Structure 1
């Protein structure tokens, strides 16, 4: 069943990608704080992770305007260049409910300096989202832009729309569709797809780091994980241990990362609180309201905040012990 399609002209590099949170000014309208974002992007690039994802779920993409999405890509690219990493991979969320909206977002992202586009399936009218509609949607967007497309499978955020491995395999054959992020948590999709395709043909990524090792064991390419906002060096270290064939150490760290990541699975408010509490000072972003969700969503309540700190505290020492890479 191994595919003989050509490798993609621009495959997505394997590794650990951080879906970056959005940072806001402490004003009534919560405008994007681009200065704070630049500091935070630079901090993540120094940490050793392999790429950044903008305007994804963790970034509250549905609460961002098209102009804000585009400017965040521009700021990210500047942070990468200024950090001495001009070719650092930048993935931009381009998800829209219509084909034309997604194409416009892809064009914006490409012009701002993005390398790849992350694209959810349409989902507003779930009953109308047939397999034919999904295939047509992804093909039309991929045909219309030079930006290589990464499929984003996240049924919980898409009215239950689940992209099965057969559908993903069909989409993988498009020359401008280069990979998939599996936030569905289905390890079976990893092994089925990697049996058919090499990473150069179609990269397969876990949607969180609590199953990074199972994904890598199934020949997956890495993960896109919200906890990388909080402890980027720890997740990068986990990936490095696997690649260095230090399996026992990797398994031990996998468990610790998984325990901490359960806080991120509680929602955007706990994730942003954890980022501000643990990573904000290192990044030079100390305004706590910068880490609040955008209204109408509320910040972490004090009781939940204490729980988040306790759940994640065990990774602090390791994170602080690991060096910057640039």
Structure 2
């Protein structure tokens, strides 16, 4: 599998009564594919995987895979604390037709690096589709060290890592540690997409692509075409949207932006509440700046 390009970190649309909104999932999936994304990344942090039960995760993945219908690959998040639990869900996602798996580090527990390597190797050996490691220490309380990534990159079924640490030095260390392997390093922090590509990374899993797929794609395309001005301007253009992300708990601001862009993403799963009042006004003003306000 060729892990490269721009993969939106898809939000999971809900109805007002907190149920999965299959119609909106179809609409978001088609919108992103028609925009030209290289793949879809489902059930990540912005997809509220941690708020969904097993059956809901399977239902979300099934709808995205069915709607994508092979037009682009679909990567599905199956991470958890228990290796056994992750294997079971991963095998179910493989059976549904997922093309790849994203597996976040365990959270709440704190395995050492050897434990972590064994966790990933055991999971990757239990499935036949590719695995992408997912590093987001601000949410999990731990980070995958570059030496561990170098070890895991040698596993034939572990093909990449998404780094959402926000630390470019970390991304650089992963790239250097895996330079002799067929291994993809993806930016998981949208402000670092161009910098990652310049350093030798292969792409990005981008939350902003839910709202601005054309601009995120322009970063990648500008870089590939040696059009530095296009790439830099596109990278800078993401900042107003990114600045709204801190106005509420993930993914309340992003889901409201997606909704204002015309896709009924609905509210986040409680206890996170949807953007209202002054926060909503700031998001609306931001969207008007992009000429995307449809309300």
Normalising by the residue count of structure 2, what TM-score does the alignment of the two structures yield? 0.93
Which of 35, 38, 43 aligns to 1:55? It is: 43
How far residue 189 of structure 1 moved from its aligned partner, in angstroms, is: 3.1
Residue-by-residue CA offset, 1:25-77 (whole Å, 9 max, x unaligned): 222xx221112211111111111111111111101101112122122222112
Equivalents in 2 of 1:152, 1:279: separation in Å? 30
Report the more deviating stretch, 39-48 or 183-192. Answer: 183-192
Within the candidate set 174, 187, 191, 2:172 is matched to 191
215, 223, 236: which is aligned to 1:234? 215
Alignment check: 8 A CA contact 1:231 1:279 kept: no
* In structure 2, distance between residues paired with 1:77 and 1:209: 25
Q: Which residue matches 2:22?
A: 34
Q: RMSD value over aligned CA atoms?
A: 2.0
Unaligned ranges ≥5, structure 1: 1-9, 321-326
Q: Which of 73, 86, 91 is the matching residue for 1:107?
A: 91
Larger RCO of the pair (alpha carbons < 8 Å, separation 6+): 1
Of residues 271, 274, 292 in structure 2, which corresponds to 1:296?
A: 271
Instruction: Report Cα offsets for 1:254-295 as digits up to 9, x if no partner.
Output: 112133222235431101111101242xxxx4xxxx420012
Distance 1:236 1:316 in 2: 18
Shift of 1:106: 0.5
User: Structure 1 residues 70 and 106, CA, compared in 2 at 3 Å: closer, same or farther?
Assistant: same
Shift of 1:199: 9.2
1:191 is displaced (CA, Å) by 2.8
- Deviation per residue, 1:5-43 (Å, 9 max, x gap): xxxxx3x4200111111111222xx22111221111111
State whether structure 2 residue 6 is matched by structure 1 residue 25. no
- State the partner residue of 1:71: 59
**In structure 1, what is the equivalent of residue 101 of structure 2?**
117
Structure 2 alignment gaps of length 5 or more: none
CA contact 1:199–1:221 (8 Å) conserved in 2: no
Residue 243 of structure 2 is matched in structure 1 by 262
3-state SS, counterpart of residue 53 of structure 1? strand
SS at match of 1:147: coil
For the residue of structure 2 that corresponds to 1:263, the secondary structure is: helix
